[in-house]
Structure 1
């Protein structure tokens, strides 16, 4: 309780405190301005201005974290300070709303707070402003003057200024005016940037190691980031002119106008929406239907000049221009891996389209290596021919890249859609640019931990898969190994050669059926007969994901059966991680299931209660209640039953094909062990290989039995019986190799298991006339896949090792660059205080980059020893310690958990192709 005079005196430095005055009955709010406090600008605290100039109408509003404040501001007019009002405000840490006669300002701390809050939560400017208003007065009475539009302008300027400052434009010749396209983008440190972070002799890299200095880029479009027809480029051109991530608008629109009448060629692959709807107009009242983007595929960082608005759908001309600009701005290397969900169609005439744009475009020059691939999750929606030609797993030099990073990146930016769609074109581009820049910066500061975990995991996987491959190689005739190696290398050079990974299949595969269901849904959508009850989960996706969850339950249950009370902590932690992940997936799936099958939650609860368990039911025992399990307990749509029937039929054929192949591989391994393995070490290695194959056999058997049981249940309800001609009940005696008889059968009376009596098995093999050719063909397919896994993980270790070196070089290069910038005086040459501040900022930024590099070196110091250890074990597997290949190590479990969290269950959230 202070008197009015003391309140004013004590608050000469605290202008944003809330004051309440006792009116005789209760406390009521009162402003410091009403109590007589005036703030003098342009002078040190305590100095008296000889000629104070009150602000216009003596009305000045300041936005602060604590709310909106009506202050009495006096500018200096006596000449001892800077006469410009905006300079006086800036020196008081107040950002003016205009450059002439400002009537409002925001505190630096509010703008800093909003910037980080928006980056983390994607909260809109309007929501923050409304929060400030309610902090000021939450009754709706005596509301402060509206300062929303000035606040939008101040935030816009603040974000743009920070991008300029952090890019060092104030420390470069020509300053802001000399900024070029892409200059404000935060580069990806591990990616190759010539002249910044690459070895001087990088062009002399051996031809078979081309991937070490390759750039991996992903292409995709996002149709959530729409923009309504608000304002125009003339009224709101924006502050950046292609300086960061968006392409320069004027040149972009000029290019599109030249191609506005073009139509994409008809697809000879699946009917992808990206192609079919490329000419579809945006919703009425929208100027942009979404955005397209090019992104680093390995580190999920946005590339300079890689983003542009889409006027219609995902047209080639839009994506071509962004691809061209991003590659030109990002620095040219000699090898590129391009990931795009329609790469099979988009890449066909890319060279002619690019050369028409720029006949000297470097991508197609002699000596360049470019590979076009389809992201792993999207590939099953393509026709069979694409699944081998555009597959990451079988492509040389790509390591363990999945190409789906750009899809995960959209999850972070999509919450901005609701606020940016109402903005003018320039403001929207600048705001999204700022958010993309923050995404890149957060990735940059966390690279040490990310790469550390990737390398640790890749080293373990490399050792495991290379040892598996070496063991399998040792069981095969070396003549065959050399023959198969030559075939696979020829196929890698020319995909038109016979595919060594191709399997003989009988009946429809699950992937084929999923593609057909997706195409049927597309037909329904175009015909206006869409039966989906959720925008993200269609009926086919619901059932397909449920079947996948059922398979994951079996896998986790097998893993749980191997854990006991005295298991290692690492093994138990891995199991718990997998159980938790499974639990979250089931929870998410059952929420969508309730839309299509109401009442399943009650069935699930009743079955759990009836079990009378003394311990809680584990997620791998949760009843999922798919249509085949519900039968007639609840009314279920025949549409859902038929979808599951088709998917189960494909699942049965897939598991049967896998079972046959693994049985032949097991037979080959056992035969080799009996003939050649001598000694404890050799026999132990052989037994380990046989045990791994046996686990795959057991899994295939369990999967087939689950599919068969579902088919039996559904066929009675749907009156489907044709499937029984090829699929039968699988008994223990049926699970044997093609040349093995049943128990008790002699060679003369040996019978053939029904699993081999299918169209995919040649008659000569059934009659024993092919001299093991079919068995060898099955073994060849498995050998090719094991080899591919070993190669990809070996490449992954090599790729990460080069990324580590480039990251350290990048930070060192940036530290030196900022160190040199400290000596640049620019326009502040005659202003010593400004030069001192400029020098301090440059030194601080240089020290920051140096510290980031030092932290990476510290976090990676144990990785060389780890990789050396893995290489020693590959050379001599007998020296491996118990548990050394336990993939449940803390680092691997944490890395997998983080990757799963980053994906946010893409199988449930991504829209069907």
Structure 2
């Protein structure tokens, strides 16, 4: 290795000299006995030439840097100094007979090689174009249309655009790099054209957007451009007259749901803008033609409706609703709100707008239905993390929208909450706004905007200092690139989605069939009827997924603590946080988050223990990703712990010093990191009484929840054992049934074990908090011990199960069946027909199993429909471009016809290529999926949302 390093370094330094050419006596190009002093640092393997030759070979490369040998070393000179002239209007090397006398010897060109001062001569021959057109035809983008003195090469503008997409770097960073390429010692020696460069980049972005949108080929040209018409559209969303069948509006109910539009709303407070410039000084170029709404109409609407009061949240404390102005101080825009298509994560036309004071409904309403107006569909599903609050009085607010935004074409409107955000809501929201329990949504999770913000946030730093117009144009360009990147990857994205969906469909339909076969048909019919009635009319029918909650629930405690924290003044002394902090973590929420982290650690520990001896790379990757996410969340939480429990930080430091990292890897797994909650602190460590009280309340609710879970899983396990004893023994034909029963029992046992561990953890914490060290505000004293006792292994048994050795007449009921519920008077019920509690448990498990199977079946159907729509969209775009081969802005001359025709054909070829690639990959994917279905014993026919709504998997490969 040392030998190679020295060899490489020796050769690099050798190139600083003349490379062994000091003995040459004539120019290798012209063969004349000239002084060999010049070489090009931009050309590969360049010879040392004479002055005339170095100039001659750079007629086609006038933006290279030349080095001259001064007798000791090479120093940089410019081709301008050597006499090179860039003659516009003629091929390189040709002399103009009628040059413009105003020849520019102070012209500056920005190129990827650096910033160059050049001599430029404009042409004044008959019929010659204006100066800016001469520059454009030479591949130079002029800084102005009037008497230009600065230009940037097309390749530089394109290179910067791509680099900014990938690196999210700013204009200044890129320009400073070019300055250093020009001269890394005195980088300011180049003439400063930074502001001109920014202006040229903005114009370039705008013109490229118009070009790709076909504005040069469409009637009306640029002046006929309408709002949203330049946005890169999602090829898979339903678009009438483009990718929907002709009779889609009159389709029967069993397939009509496949033509729904799914959109998601989310606010982003990273993409803020400071009080810099104004719309008058920096109006921007796009004017609502892409993703941002048209600014003037949007601001006029906000001004007219700003007086409308924002209703307070009736769910948990949503800061975006209740404390809307917290992040708006000193900003022109506190962030943006955006609408994306939920299924494919594409930004929609005119779907982004600024926020001024949190996620105010007037902003969200305008932007949401500005995006929806482009899809004239009949059914709309909206996902929003505060949808439970936003949808209230939505119809009244829609009537106040401008007439062109009112969605009068929408017949069915569903508002749901994204899956990740839903558990933070109250129990009513979890039952009412769940994607998992809603018919006709497939496996949609509603979290599409969150995945897109990660890349957009990378440009937040640079756009925060821009003027309003430049910021909107820049973000429009980045959003358009993200949409186009997803468009190019449609083929592989849908292949991966479909493979996962088919596997899920086979697995969960098989699970549901096994569960269904173990339940009497009368109850199957009854429960199916109940859930279908609820799905058809949730407002008039009881939710069959709802169970009677016994005792105190952890969710109820969390809600009460959140409401108490929200009611406190931000500057109250007992908050333990500075009111000037950007984020306030109240003590109750701090403890609640810690308890949740403890639960997540247990789940991760279980997942790690379930890995086999030879886990797959996918399993290890998923586990590592979950571990990294949990580790980051714990790190954030421990930062607040330093404020509330400073002694815990000292304990953590001592633990870290005792177990140092090995090979750069953390020595403690994420699921083993000690949290040092109040219940786990040693007696010698002092802890605030309010923190202990909050944890005690949460632990009590957690214990009651764990008991409810334990009873539910025990009921299921007991019934499965009885069913197996009656029907899964004896004949050879019952082997398959016996296997299914064992699988179901194993699943139920895992639930029993998990609930037992959860209860024991909560009970032990309660002993520390309330039993051994009673709290002053414990109004119930020791009453909690009546319902919550130490859980022994012998206590974990079914309702009609006795201890070993007990007969029917002497057996007793475990205390877990009496805790937090009414006394059970009958102990001999061993049939589902006479056990109402068992019925309740089985009903919920059956309906959840049914919902899982239906959602996966719907996902397969939705993906098939979306793949068909994608192919139709690509075919439509290919034909659309072929119909626009002629120039519409070329004037009366035919000089431009060939260029316009060539571009139209090239764009048509792009969409034909996308169509062919999707068709090829999807056909291969269907064949692979069919093999998997056969190997895993999937149904030949699979249901979608109804038991009679069937598709034939034999047709998947056709």
Correspondence list, 1:205-224, <5 A: 205-224=251-270
Match of 1:708 in 2: 763
Match of 2:189 in 1: 143
Correspondence list, 1:524-563, <5 A: 526-527=570-571, 531=576, 538=585, 550-555=598-603, 557-561=605-609, 563=611
Counterparts in 2 of 1:542 and 1:133: CA distance versus 1, 3 Å: farther
Q: Deviations over 1:266-298 (max 9, x none)?
A: 4333332222234x3864442222222211111
* Structure 2 residue 909 is matched with structure 1 residue 847: yes
Counterparts in 2 of 1:477 and 1:255: CA distance versus 1, 3 Å: same
TM-score where L is the length of structure 1: 0.88
* Structure 2 residue 575 is matched with structure 1 residue 495: no
Correspondence list, 1:256-275, <5 A: 256-275=302-321
Between 770-779 and 61-70, report the one with greater CA deviation. Answer: 770-779
Q: Deviations over 1:179-214 (max 9, x none)?
A: 111100111111101111112222233213332010
Q: What secondary structure, in the 3-state scheme, does the structure 2 residue paired with 1:171 have? A: coil
* 2:728 counterpart (677, 682, 693): 677
Q: What secondary structure, in the 3-state scheme, does the structure 2 residue paired with 1:194 have? A: coil
Correspondence list, 1:466-477, <5 A: 466-477=509-520
Instruction: Write the distance in 2 (CA, Å) between the matches of 1:556 and 1:386.
Output: 26
Instruction: Write the distance in 1 (CA, Å) between the matches of 2:922 and 2:535.
Output: 34
Instruction: Write the distance in 1 (CA, Å) between the matches of 2:330 and 2:593.
Output: 36
The number of aligned residues is 869
Q: Which runs of 5+ in 2 are unaligned?
A: 1-36, 39-49, 643-648, 942-958
* 2:294 counterpart (234, 242, 248): 248
* 2:378 counterpart (299, 322, 334): 334
Correspondence list, 1:749-768, <5 A: 749-760=810-821, 763-764=824-825
Which structure ranks higher in relative contact order (CA pairs < 8 Å, sequence separation ≥ 6)?
1
Given that 1:556 and 1:575 are in contact with CA atoms closer than 8 Å, whether structure 2 keeps it comes out as no
* Structure 2 residue 397 is matched with structure 1 residue 353: yes
Q: What secondary structure, in the 3-state scheme, does the structure 1 residue paired with 2:108 have? A: strand
Q: What secondary structure, in the 3-state scheme, does the structure 2 residue paired with 1:708 have? A: helix
* 1:203 counterpart (234, 249, 253): 249
Larger radius of gyration: 2
Given that 2:179 and 2:187 are in contact with CA atoms closer than 8 Å, whether structure 1 keeps it comes out as no
* Structure 2 residue 225 is matched with structure 1 residue 174: no
Q: Deviations over 1:828-878 (max 9, x none)?
A: 375445211211111111111111121112222244345556766897679
Match of 1:295 in 2: 340
Counterparts in 2 of 1:806 and 1:11: CA distance versus 1, 3 Å: same
Given that 1:579 and 1:619 are in contact with CA atoms closer than 8 Å, whether structure 2 keeps it comes out as no
Match of 1:305 in 2: 350
Instruction: Write the distance in 1 (CA, Å) between the matches of 2:630 and 2:400.
Output: 51
Given that 2:627 and 2:671 are in contact with CA atoms closer than 8 Å, whether structure 1 keeps it comes out as no
Match of 2:883 in 1: 820
Match of 2:501 in 1: 458
Shift of 1:531: 4.5
Match of 1:8 in 2: 55
Instruction: Write the distance in 2 (CA, Å) between the matches of 1:282 and 1:560.
Output: 40
Given that 1:228 and 1:421 are in contact with CA atoms closer than 8 Å, whether structure 2 keeps it comes out as yes
Q: Which runs of 5+ in 1 are unaligned?
A: 880-913
Shift of 1:604: 4.3
* Structure 2 residue 88 is matched with structure 1 residue 33: no
Given that 2:423 and 2:430 are in contact with CA atoms closer than 8 Å, whether structure 1 keeps it comes out as yes
Given that 2:704 and 2:820 are in contact with CA atoms closer than 8 Å, whether structure 1 keeps it comes out as no
Given that 2:259 and 2:377 are in contact with CA atoms closer than 8 Å, whether structure 1 keeps it comes out as yes
Correspondence list, 1:766-805, <5 A: 771-805=834-868
Correspondence list, 1:351-750, <5 A: 351-357=395-401, 363=407, 368-496=411-539, 497-523=541-567, 526-527=570-571, 531=576, 538=585, 550-555=598-603, 557-561=605-609, 563-565=611-613, 567=614, 571-595=615-639, 596-597=641-642, 598-599=649-650, 601-605=652-656, 608=659, 619=669, 622-627=672-677, 628-631=679-682, 644-678=695-729, 679-715=734-770, 716=772, 719=775, 722=782, 723-750=784-811
Q: What secondary structure, in the 3-state scheme, does the structure 2 residue paired with 1:398 have? A: coil
Instruction: Write the distance in 2 (CA, Å) between the matches of 1:799 and 1:532.
Output: 48
Match of 1:882 in 2: none
Shift of 1:759: 2.5
Shift of 1:459: 1.3
Q: Deviations over 1:202-253 (max 9, x none)?
A: 2233213332010001112222222223332223222112111111122222
Instruction: Write the distance in 2 (CA, Å) between the matches of 1:665 and 1:428.
Output: 58
Shift of 1:312: 2.6
* 2:134 counterpart (80, 88, 92): 88
Shift of 1:564: 4.9
Match of 1:894 in 2: none
Match of 1:225 in 2: 271
Between 498-507 and 42-51, report the one with greater CA deviation. Answer: 498-507
Given that 2:398 and 2:406 are in contact with CA atoms closer than 8 Å, whether structure 1 keeps it comes out as no
Match of 2:126 in 1: 79
* Structure 2 residue 884 is matched with structure 1 residue 834: no
Instruction: Write the distance in 1 (CA, Å) between the matches of 2:514 and 2:728.
Output: 12
Match of 2:944 in 1: none
Given that 1:117 and 1:123 are in contact with CA atoms closer than 8 Å, whether structure 2 keeps it comes out as yes
Match of 2:387 in 1: 343
**Structure showing the higher helix proportion among its residues:** 1
RMSD value over aligned CA atoms? 3.2
Shift of 1:371: 0.7
Given that 1:222 and 1:292 are in contact with CA atoms closer than 8 Å, whether structure 2 keeps it comes out as yes
Instruction: Write the distance in 2 (CA, Å) between the matches of 1:357 and 1:767.
Output: 63
Given that 1:604 and 1:623 are in contact with CA atoms closer than 8 Å, whether structure 2 keeps it comes out as no
Match of 1:887 in 2: none
Match of 2:27 in 1: none
Given that 2:328 and 2:358 are in contact with CA atoms closer than 8 Å, whether structure 1 keeps it comes out as no
* 2:158 counterpart (109, 112, 118): 112
Counterparts in 2 of 1:359 and 1:175: CA distance versus 1, 3 Å: closer
Counterparts in 2 of 1:54 and 1:792: CA distance versus 1, 3 Å: farther
Counterparts in 2 of 1:449 and 1:619: CA distance versus 1, 3 Å: farther
Instruction: Write the distance in 2 (CA, Å) between the matches of 1:120 and 1:786.
Output: 43
Counterparts in 2 of 1:348 and 1:283: CA distance versus 1, 3 Å: closer
Q: What secondary structure, in the 3-state scheme, does the structure 1 residue paired with 2:869 have? A: helix
Match of 2:10 in 1: none
Q: What secondary structure, in the 3-state scheme, does the structure 2 residue paired with 1:827 have? A: coil
Given that 1:61 and 1:69 are in contact with CA atoms closer than 8 Å, whether structure 2 keeps it comes out as yes
Shift of 1:663: 0.8
Shift of 1:586: 4.5
Instruction: Write the distance in 2 (CA, Å) between the matches of 1:516 and 1:134.
Output: 60
Between 117-126 and 416-425, report the one with greater CA deviation. Answer: 416-425
Counterparts in 2 of 1:517 and 1:301: CA distance versus 1, 3 Å: farther
Q: What secondary structure, in the 3-state scheme, does the structure 2 residue paired with 1:307 have? A: strand
Given that 1:339 and 1:373 are in contact with CA atoms closer than 8 Å, whether structure 2 keeps it comes out as yes
Between 599-608 and 703-712, report the one with greater CA deviation. Answer: 599-608
Q: Deviations over 1:727-759 (max 9, x none)?
A: 332221111111211222211111111221223
Counterparts in 2 of 1:447 and 1:516: CA distance versus 1, 3 Å: farther
Between 444-453 and 640-649, report the one with greater CA deviation. Answer: 640-649
Between 282-291 and 516-525, report the one with greater CA deviation. Answer: 516-525
Counterparts in 2 of 1:726 and 1:481: CA distance versus 1, 3 Å: same
Given that 2:712 and 2:841 are in contact with CA atoms closer than 8 Å, whether structure 1 keeps it comes out as yes
Match of 1:122 in 2: 168
